[in-house]
Amino acid sequence: MVWRIRRVVHPAGAHPPACTAAIRLGNRCESWDGVRYRPACGYLWLPMAILWLHSTSPLFRPAPKVNLELRQKVQRNLSRWAAWNAEGSPVRWADRPQSAGISDTDCVVYFVPSYHEGVVVGRTRRERKFAGLHYVFLQQLSLGDPTHLGATIADPPAVSEVWVGDIIRWVRDTRTANLLWSEKEIDSVAYALAAAALHEAMHNKIEAARDIDWDLHRQGGGDLAMPLSRLAVERRLSANLENRRLLELYFGSRRRQYLHTA
């Protein structure tokens, strides 16, 4: 089946609200935001959504020019992979999340220096039900696990973050402290940051909207639904058809986001 977003006119003659778009389902009935139904007109109405990005500190503080290039390329990569319906740019940086007008259909991913300096650690330390996650993350960090360079807690207010310092060290390896970056290094780090951000956003919105037993890593279609890998960075893997289908259907599901005070 070919999945297409397009504007339509309801059979009764009424136009859909400006904040929605429609996707033709034919005879299929998709589960969206935990509700399974088939609209009378054969279209599933999908809300607008934006992927908001916020960096709690510069992506690379010692070199402002590199920081700016990384921000631009991260946004460009994510915009290229965006398959959800949006009015205007589907991916935006927010300097102040609390005043950016972020809605429950949007998603926020934070770029933080490390887990210990992030926003997730506040919940794992403060809320008893997430205490186990704190020790899981600490174990991953102590083992130097390169496939886990971000984290998501999907329980509202949902919070997703990417550990920038760990990704830069992982990609640049022995050149981590070198202030001179090659164009290839900037491209590789920007790709890794963007891929990790989209992966956490998929945990935040898609996995949370599906059945409780649905697992992004096993059923998300591979590529960007999988944790970051050396192969992905080397080949610059993009969002595949299944990744895009899931983003198209579920990214706009309602889930209140944590809004950090900048």
pLDDT in tens, 116-127: 999 999 888 888
Confidence of residue 148 (pLDDT cuts 50, 70, 90): confident
Beta strands of the chain (E only): which ranges?
Answer: 5-6, 20-24, 31-32, 35-36, 43-47, 51-55, 91-93, 107-112, 150-153, 159-163
Confidence of residue 145 (pLDDT cuts 50, 70, 90): low
Look at residues 64, 126, 68 and name the one whose alpha carbon lies nearest to residue 258.
126
Look at residues 93, 104, 88 and name the one whose alpha carbon lies nearest to residue 157.
104
* Integer-rounded Cα radius of gyration of the chain: 19
Identify the pLDDT of residue 161: 97
151 has which bridge partners?
161
Q: With contact defined as beta carbons under 8 Å apart, do 249 and 46 qualify?
A: yes
What DSSP string describes 73-129?
HHHHHHHHH--S--SS-SEEE-SSGGGTT--TTSEEEEEES-GGGSSHHHHHHH-GG
Any residues with CB less than 8 A from the CB of 173 and at least 6 apart, and which?
A: none
Cα separation, 43 vs 21, whole angstroms: 9
Structure token digits, residue 92:
């935006």
Query: Is 0.85 topped by the overall pTM?
Result: no
Identify the pLDDT of residue 64: 94
Query: How does pLDDT run across 196-254, given as a tens digit for each residue?
Result: 999 999 999 999 899 889 999 999 999 999 999 999 999 999 999 999 999 999 999 99
Any residues with CB less than 8 A from the CB of 102 and at least 6 apart, and which?
A: 50, 52, 94, 108, 257, 259
Query: How does pLDDT run across 150-194, given as a tens digit for each residue?
Result: 999 999 999 999 999 999 999 999 898 899 999 999 999 999 999
Q: Is the pLDDT score of 2 beyond 50? A: no
Cα separation, 76 vs 236, whole angstroms: 14
Q: Tell me the three state secondary structure of residue 146.
A: coil
Q: With contact defined as beta carbons under 8 Å apart, do 251 and 199 qualify?
A: no
207 has which bridge partners?
none
Query: How does pLDDT run across 26-76, given as a tens digit for each residue?
Result: 434 444 444 333 444 455 677 899 999 999 999 999 999 999 999 999 999
22 has which bridge partners?
6, 45
Q: Tell me the three state secondary structure of residue 54.
A: strand
What counts of helices (H) and strands (E) characterise the chain? 9, 10
